[in-house]
Amino acid sequence: MTGKSRILGIVRDIAAVVVTGLFIFPIFWWALTSIKPISAIFDKDRVNFFDFTPTFINYGVTLFGQSRSQIAIDEGLGMGVAGADAYDSRQSILESIIISLGATTITMAVSVFAAYAISRMAFRGRGHYLNWVLGQRFMPPIAILVPLVTIYKTAGLRDTDNLYMGYLGLMMIYALMNLPIAVLLMKSFLDDVPKDVDEAAMIDGATRWQTFRKVVLPMVKGGVAASAVLVFIFSWTEFLLSLFLTTDIRTVPVKIQTFVTSTGNEWGFIAALGTAAIIPSFIFILLVQKHLVRGLTLGSLKE
Amino acid sequence: MSSNTASLLPRETASPESKRGWLQSWLSSEHPFPWLFPAAALMVVFGIYPLLYALTLSLYKKNAATRKMVFDIDHNWTKILFDDRVWNAIFNTFIYTGVALVFQLVLGMLIALLLDSDRRGYGVLRALMTLPLVIPPAVTAMMFLLMLNGSFGVLSRGMIAMGLLPVGFSVLGDASTAMAGVLLAEIWQWTPFMVLIMLAGLRSLPKEPFEAAAIDGANAFQAFFKLTLPMMSKVIAIAVLIRGIDLFRAFDYVKVMTDSGPGTATETLTSYAGRIYFGNADFPYASTVALLTLIIVIVLSSAFMKIFKVKL
C-alpha cells in the first residue's frame, strides 16, 4: 500500500468512527442520564459528563417499585416527596410485553396463511388482495382512529369497560398496522422457496395443509422468526394508537409521557424507563440484522 | 330418500376428513379462501369499516352547543378550505416531509458510502448504526427534548458554547426554531434507515462497470454520478416512497416535543387532527382532517409510483 492511500484509509476510519459516534451519542447520553443524581442532570453551570456519583435510584423507582419519597428521606433530600408510586412502571412494562406478544402472535398467524396463498396459489384478484394489504401501510392510522374509538366503545373493546377486551382491542389494531409488513415479508421469504418443493410433496400425496405445515413452513422458519421480531419491535414502539385507544392500559411509550409534569420533567425517571425500553429492541435487532433491509422495505429489497 | 342415506352413510364413516380437525380439512382444499380469510377479515373489520365510518362521520356537522350530529354533506369539507390552520398544517407537513427526506437521503447516501468497506471493524460500525431505528419514537422525542433543553440540555449548551444560540435559548420554545428541533430528532432516528437501504444497494452493485470506468480514467465523482446513482435509482425510489409515507403522517415527535406548538408552529395534519379530537371533541371535523391526510398520501404516493415506475 502506498503512503497516500494509507493516510486516506486512516482518515476514512476516523470519519467512520466519528459519524457512527454522533449517531450513538444520544443513546449514550440517555443511558448516562439514567444513572445521574438530580443535581447532575439539572446542572445549569456546565455540561456534566462524568463528574457525579452514579445512582440507581431512577431504576429503583421505575423498575423495582421503590418508594421515591422513602429514598428521598433516607438520603436526606428534600426534593420529590410527592407522587409516591406514579413512577412505578412495572405494570406498564408488563402490559407492553403482553400486547406486543399478543399482537405479534395474531399478526403472524393471519399473515403466514395469507402469504402462502399469495405466493403459491393462482387465483383471481390476487393483485387486488396484495394491493389492499399494501394499502394498509399507506393509510395514516389517524384516518381510522377517531371512528375506531367510537366503534370500540360500542363493541366493548375499550379497556375502561373491560380490561381484557381492552388488551384484545389494542392487539387487533396493532395486528392490522403490522399486517402489510408481515404479509409482504413472508411472501418474499416464501417466494424464495422453489414451487417444485410443493409440487413434489403433493405428488407424493400430501394435502395442501400437509405440504404447508410439514414441508414449506419448516423451510421458512428463519423468515417467520425475523418477521415476528420486526412485528414485535413495531408493536413495542407504537405510540399513537395506544394513546388514543386505551386509558387504563398504558404501554411504555405512553407511560413515559406521564413523567412530564406541570411542576417539571422527571428526567432521571424518564431516562431510566427510556433506557429500559430500548434494551429489548437492541437485543432483538441484532438478532435480525441479516433480514433488516428486507423487512424495512416490505420485502422488496434483499440484502 | 333411501338412496340419499345410502350415499351419505359410507362417506361419513369412511371419510378421514372429519377426524382430522376442522382446521386441517379447511386448509386441505386448493381453494385460497380459507388461507386469505383471516387477514381479509382483520382488514375489513379494523381497517375498512372504520374508514367508511370516518367517511360517513365527515358528512355530519356537530353542533357545539347541543352536541347533536346533523347530516350536512359539505359542512366539514367546506370548512377545511377556509380553515387557516389546515393550510398551515399542510404547509408544515410538506416542510417536515421535504426537509427530513432530503437530509435523510443525502446523509444516508454519504454515510453508506463511508461505511461500505470490508476493512476490519466496519461491520461493527454498520451494526451500531442500526440501533437508533428501534428506539420507540416517543422515547427518541424525549431524548431530544432533554438534550435541547435551554438551560441544561447538552445540545443546546453545545450550540450556545459555539456561539450559535443566545444563552438560555430554548430551541423548541421558539416558533422560528421549533420545527428545526423536531426535525433534528426525526432525522437522527431515521437516517440509519436510509443508510441501511443504501448499503444494501451499494453491496449489490456489479463490480465490472466500475473496473471498466477506472481503466478509462474516470475519477470517484464521475463513477458515483454516472454509475452508482443510476444503478441505485430503483433502491432510492423505494426508500423515498416508504420514508415519505411515514414522514407525511408524522405524529410522535411533534406530539411529544412541542405538542404542535408554540402556537401552531409545528402543527402537522396528523397532529392537528389529534388536537381537534382531544381539544374540542369535534369528531366529524377531526375525521375530515384525518381523511384529508389520507387523500394527500394516496394522491402523492400513486403519482410517485407512476412517475418513477416503482412497485413495492
Number of Cβ pairs closer than 8 Å across A and B? 272
Contacts of A237 in chain B (CB under 8 A): 134-139
Q: What is the mean pLDDT of residues B251-255?
A: 91
Q: For residue A269, what are the β-bridge partners?
A: none
Q: How many whole angstroms separate alpha carbon B153 and alpha carbon A156?
A: 44
pLDDT value, residue A76: 60
Across the interface, whether the CB atoms of B134 and A281 are under 8 A apart is answered: yes
pLDDT value, residue A75: 63
Across the interface, whether the CB atoms of B293 and A142 are under 8 A apart is answered: yes
Residue at grid coordinates 381492552: A166
Contacts of B298 in chain A (CB under 8 A): 138
pLDDT above 90 covers a percentage of chain B that reads 52
- The distance of A225 to chain B (nearest Cα, Å) reads 17
- The sign one gets for the Cα dihedral A70, A72, A77, A78 is negative
Mutation choice for B interface testing from A20, A28, A279 by most B CBs within 10 A:
A20
pLDDT value, residue A61: 81
Q: What is the mean pLDDT of residues B56-71?
A: 81
CA-wise closest residue to B248 among B193, B294, B288 = B294
Q: How many whole angstroms separate alpha carbon B288 and alpha carbon B273?
A: 8
Q: Is residue A120 within 8 Å of residue B49, measured between CB atoms?
A: no
- The distance of B62 to chain A (nearest Cα, Å) reads 14
Q: How many whole angstroms separate alpha carbon A142 and alpha carbon B227?
A: 41
- Residue in A closest to B54 by C-alpha: A147
Residue at grid coordinates 416527596: A81
pLDDT for A133-187, tens place per residue? 988 888 888 889 889 988 999 998 888 888 899 999 999 999 999 999 999 999 9
CA-wise closest residue to A120 among B32, B28, B38, B40 = B32
Looking at the predicted structure, is the pLDDT value of residue B9 above 50? no
pLDDT for A232-262, tens place per residue? 999 999 999 999 899 889 999 998 888 877 6
Across the interface, whether the CB atoms of B121 and A121 are under 8 A apart is answered: no
pLDDT for B69-114, tens place per residue? 888 888 889 898 899 999 999 999 999 999 999 999 999 999 999 9
pLDDT for B118-165, tens place per residue? 888 899 999 999 999 999 999 999 999 989 988 888 888 888 888 888
Nearest to B136 among A113, A239, A243 (CB): A239
pLDDT value, residue A151: 92
pLDDT value, residue A85: 60
Mean pLDDT, all residues of chain B: 86
Q: Is residue A169 within 8 Å of residue A245, measured between CB atoms?
A: yes
pLDDT value, residue B4: 42
3-state DSSP assignment of residue B62: strand
Return the ∠ at Cα A108 (arms to B30 and B32), rounded to 5°. 15
Across the interface, whether the CB atoms of A254 and B297 are under 8 A apart is answered: no
pLDDT for A53-105, tens place per residue? 888 888 888 888 777 766 666 666 555 545 556 788 888 999 999 999 999 99
pLDDT value, residue A297: 87
- The sign one gets for the Cα dihedral B167, B170, B174, B176 is positive
- Residue in A closest to B187 by C-alpha: A23
Distances (CA, A) of A50 to A180, B175, B186, B247: 45, 34, 28, 36
Q: How many whole angstroms separate alpha carbon A110 and alpha carbon A106?
A: 6
H/E element, A264: strand A264-265
pLDDT value, residue B13: 41
Distances (CA, A) of B67 to A24, A263, B60, B176: 50, 34, 12, 37
> Where do the domains of chain A lie, and which CATH numbers do they carry?
91-254+268-296 (1.10.3720.10)
Across the interface, whether the CB atoms of B311 and A175 are under 8 A apart is answered: no
Looking at the predicted structure, is the pLDDT value of residue B238 above 80? yes
- The sign one gets for the Cα dihedral B168, B174, B180, B182 is positive
Nearest to A256 among B54, B139, B235 (CB): B139
pLDDT for A32-54, tens place per residue? 998 888 778 877 777 777 778 88
Phi and psi at residue A191, in whole multiples of 5°? Answer: -65, -25
Q: Burial letters for A80-117: b for 16+ Cβ neighbours within 10 Å, e otherwise? A: beeeeeebbbeebbebbeebbebbbebbbebbbbbbbb
pLDDT value, residue B112: 95
Across the interface, whether the CB atoms of B38 and A292 are under 8 A apart is answered: no
Across the interface, whether the CB atoms of B252 and A240 are under 8 A apart is answered: yes
Across the interface, whether the CB atoms of A23 and B203 are under 8 A apart is answered: no
H/E element, B71: strand B69-71
pTM of the model: 0.89
Q: Per this entry, what is the length of chain B?
A: 312
H/E element, B274: helix B269-279
Contacts of A265 in chain B (CB under 8 A): 145-146
pLDDT value, residue B269: 93
Q: Which residue has the higher pLDDT, A88 or B235?
A: B235
Lowest mean pLDDT, pick from A74-88, A195-209, B282-296: A74-88
Across the interface, whether the CB atoms of B293 and A117 are under 8 A apart is answered: no
Q: How many whole angstroms separate alpha carbon A57 and alpha carbon A82?
A: 15
Phi and psi at residue B219, in whole multiples of 5°? Answer: -90, 180
DSSP string covering B286-302: HHHHHHHHHHHHHHHHH
Q: For residue A264, what are the β-bridge partners?
A: A261
Residues near A110 by beta carbon (within 8 Å), at least 6 away in sequence: A175, A179, B38, B39, B42
Residues near A236 by beta carbon (within 8 Å), at least 6 away in sequence: A96, A100, A252, A277, A280, A281, B136
Q: Burial letters for B226-249: b for 16+ Cβ neighbours within 10 Å, e otherwise? A: ebbeebbebbbbbbbbbbbbbbbb
Q: How many whole angstroms separate alpha carbon A264 and alpha carbon B221?
A: 51
H/E element, B61: strand B60-62
pLDDT for B13-59, tens place per residue? 444 444 556 666 666 667 888 889 999 999 999 999 999 999 998 99
Across the interface, whether the CB atoms of B139 and A236 are under 8 A apart is answered: no
Mean pLDDT, all residues of chain A: 87
> Where do the domains of chain B lie, and which CATH numbers do they carry?
76-134+185-307 (1.10.3720.10)
Contacts of B157 in chain A (CB under 8 A): 46-47
Across the interface, whether the CB atoms of B146 and A254 are under 8 A apart is answered: no
Contacts of B293 in chain A (CB under 8 A): 140, 142-143
Q: What is the ipTM of this complex?
A: 0.89
3-state DSSP assignment of residue A260: strand
Across the interface, whether the CB atoms of A147 and B142 are under 8 A apart is answered: no
- Residue in A closest to B152 by C-alpha: A44
Q: Is residue A182 within 8 Å of residue A116, measured between CB atoms?
A: no
Q: Is residue B295 within 8 Å of residue B286, measured between CB atoms?
A: no
Across the interface, whether the CB atoms of A285 and B277 are under 8 A apart is answered: no
Residues near B233 by beta carbon (within 8 Å), at least 6 away in sequence: B308
- Residue in B closest to A49 by C-alpha: B154
- Residue in B closest to A300 by C-alpha: B312
